[in-house]
Structure 1
Amino acid sequence: MTSTGEGPSATGSSSISANTSQISLADQFARSTEEEIQFALDEIRNENDKLEKETGILTKYLKRVDPKDIQTQIKGLEASPVQQDVVRVHKRRSRSRTGSTERLLKLTTEQKCDIAQREHDELREEINKFKHETEKILDTYRATREEAEIRLAEMKKSSYEFNRDIVLGAKNLRTGRVVAERVTRYFEDKMRSRKALIEKLRLKNSTLKVQKKKLQLQLKQKEEMGEVLHEVDFKQLRIENNQYLEKIDERNQELLKLKHSSGNTLQVLNTYKKKLNNLTMESNRLKLEISQRNELLTKIDKETELVEKEREKAESINANLRRQLQDYIVPEVLDYVQVRADLYELTKTMKTWERKVDIAQMELQKYQKQWLMMREHNRTVNPWATMEQHAAL
């Protein structure tokens, strides 16, 4: 960052040094190669860019700071080196246009840092101010958008209700026209509901105004009592907020670990539930099979008792037959022949009588048919006699 000053001696010395520097630079350029010249040119360009930035920052600082204010501060307080240099620079800049009395003045590194820090703080304040303004504008736009969305939803609802109650519901089925009384009643109800809403919002607005006055009064009392929060308090609150955020992150990590362990536990529990379900089904199947086997065993026991009784009965019959067999006396051969002859004669007599019975049955059927035919003939010839017979019966 540079500025100008006065003095004829300084002008002469500066012109001589400028001539000698130009001669030395010409000698250097003559002796240097193209790469060295390009490198030196890049360095000069970088230095010029740096000086342009520093000059721009100093220009902004000088435009923002009024020299009258600086002079009053110098009179009342000890002026800082930066302010003194700025005053000198400003005074000398007003007279730097003479051309013959120019002298370069440079700021120290501390002064440059001080000016850059002040410009940085000023730029930060402007950014914060712009940020607050843009946030207000965004809040206004959000509120406008929300209001428009609410209005649109209300209009859609009103349109739906009007179509439902008036366009479709208020038509006369006979004429097909809308009944005027229902339309009038609909708009009267709407106006009544609007008035009720206006009254409700008015009461709410008055309540909010009262709350606002109370809060303003409390804020004024706190300002008078010195209880207003300062920047240090906000920093302390910010530090505490960061600490609480770190604690919340730790708790969230612990919660994630617990959720992970809970998920693993739930998976193990589901596995054991499936195993328990399979074992329960197997147990029920085995119980059913055991009950069936018990029923079968009971049935087998009953059948065994029956078989045992039949065996005892067969043994008793067998014993009786054995006793009869032991007591049996074989007859003589002639007696056996005589019995067989009697059996043959009896069988022959039985067959003869059976044949006679068959013949008699055939004769009986024949006579029954003849009797039936005679009765039918008599009924057709003399029906009155038949009726008398029935009457007598």
Structure 2
Amino acid sequence: MDYPAPRLLTDDESERDSIRTGESREIGEEVLQDLAPLALPELRSMVHEMSHANSVLKLEAAMFEKFFNRMEPRDLTGHLPPDRHGSSLDLGPAVYSRGRRKSKSRITADRLICLTVEQKCDLAQRELEETREDIQRMKENSERVLQNYLAALEEADIRVVDIKKAIVDFEKDIVNTITKKKGSIIASDKVLRYMEDKIRSRDVLKEKIRLKNDSLKVQKKKMQMQLRQKEELGEALHEVDFQQLKIENAQFLEKIEERNQDLLRQKMTVGNALQILNFYKRKLQTTTSMATRLVKDIAQRKESLEKIEREGILVEKMALQSYRSVWQKAKLASHELQALLPEQVAR
């Protein structure tokens, strides 16, 4: 197997490699110097923070990749302004970043790829909206598929019921007759008539469906013609028609304003009438309560008057009885006196 010959590095490439190697070595030494005085718990907390930051960076990278994959190539240019730059994460300054030095090329690259917080929020908001739309579409598709499956199940159930009914009818009308009369011509005639009836019923159903389909086609053509006429009428409108429509719209707006003013006046009139009505209602309620009290007083006085009349009649009766008793006594006394007077005269 032939291996490719190693490519010789130019002076510029070797110089850049040496510069990068020296920078990485310097950065590693600086990081080791910064981390050397730290204790083990501090190092663990730093590792935990860095792992959390890496997970957040992975999520951001996945979201950005999804966003840019969804966008068209022509939308990639000019979507995010290059002059707005910032950190990819607002995690604060790093623990060991005070002694780190970056080259100009690296700073320029960071400026080109970093995003501001507003840009991140915009991208996250768009991704959230896209995700919601995807979820809504999935729900609609799932509902549609579910409805189709339910319709298929319902149709299958109806078909099963029809088949069972047909089997029962066939066994009742044909099979029992054939088993009773084997080899008879009547049984075969019944089978033929049964099949002919089924075929005839299917033909009738097919004819009904065909007629319904024809009527739906005619209705569809009518709707298409109406839609085409509306489109042609809309295309036939000119600027004069639009001006006329604007004038009519202004006139209708004036009429609407007048109607609103009339409605406001009517509302004020109704409010005043309601106030007057409430006043008279209160007055009627007061008068009604007073009339009720007067009726009660009249009833009580009538009862007392009737009682007085009854007592007067009773008193008159008692006086008449006493007068009669006195008159009877006087009459008896006069009779006794008349009886005594002749005796005295005779003596």
Q: TM-score, normalised by structure 1?
A: 0.42
Q: TM-score, normalised by structure 2?
A: 0.47
Q: Which has the higher contact order (CA 8 A, sep 6+)?
A: 1
Structure showing greater Rg: 1
